[in-house]
Amino acid sequence: MNRQYSRADHLVRQGDAVLRTLLPGAAQASRPSPATPEVRDDALDEAERRHAEGLMRINHTGEVCAQALYQGQGLTAKLPEIREQMEAAAQEEIDHLAWCEARLTELDGHTSRLNPLFYAASFGMGALAGAVGDRVSLGFVAATEEQVGRHLDAHMDELPSGDHRSRAVLRQMAIDEAHHAEQALAAGGARFPAPVQAGMRLMSKVMTKSVYRL
């Protein structure tokens, strides 16, 4: 028998999700990082380390946005099965969040100070998409995940050639993001028109430019 959650239960779960997303060290991965001990970097000079740090900070903030998006959509989704799908995807994205944070620590870096701002903006967009309708909400997931996949591919090319550990993390993340996009479309997500996707790319550029150093 499935448990019926009250509004208070949902609020408690939502608060816990916010803390796990934004507090350093709070995200706990359910899968081991692809950057296993066997994956070793070549020597990185200071400029290469800083560049790898900036890229991984962008990817970490992208995962913060993904968490907020899924949590907002799950809060306003119309159908229970869609809500459950959003919650399951958010749980899988926790792995990415933890992996990116662990890699940032290895690079002597830090997560972005702008994460709370981007979390709030993404949560609002997710809640709005969910309120409009599940087909739009799922389409937003698919468009977002496809965009994230393009970023990950670009970052794998941009990383210093000797940074094998970051590249291993991004490679698995790209596989997972593609799977999430396929799931959203298979569940009935709408394909967004080109102008909407262009607007999403513009917003993404704002995030990447600001987070690289902050």
Does 93 show up as a binding residue in the annotation?
A: yes
pLDDT at 4 over 90: no
> CA 164, 57, 15 angle in degrees (round to 5)?
125
For the segment 126-174, what is each residue's pLDDT rounded down to a tens digit? Answer: 777 777 777 777 777 777 787 888 889 999 999 999 999 999 999 999 9
Task: Specify the pLDDT at position 1.
Answer: 44
106 is in an annotated binding site: no
Please report which helix (H) or strand (E) contains residue 113, including its range: none
To the question of whether residue 179 is assigned a binding role by annotation, the answer is no
On average, the pLDDT of the chain sits at 80
Q: Which listed CATH number (1.20.1260.10, 1.10.1740.10, 3.40.50.300, 3.30.930.10) goes with 43-211?
A: 1.20.1260.10
Decide: 210 and 114 in contact? Cβ < 8 Å.
Answer: yes
Annotated binding residue at 53? Answer: no
For the chain, the structural domain boundaries read: 43-211
pTM: 0.81
CA distance 70 to 92: 11
User: Is 180 known to sit in a ligand binding site?
Assistant: yes
Put residue 133 in one of left, alpha, beta given phi > 0 → left and psi -120 to 50 → alpha. Answer: left
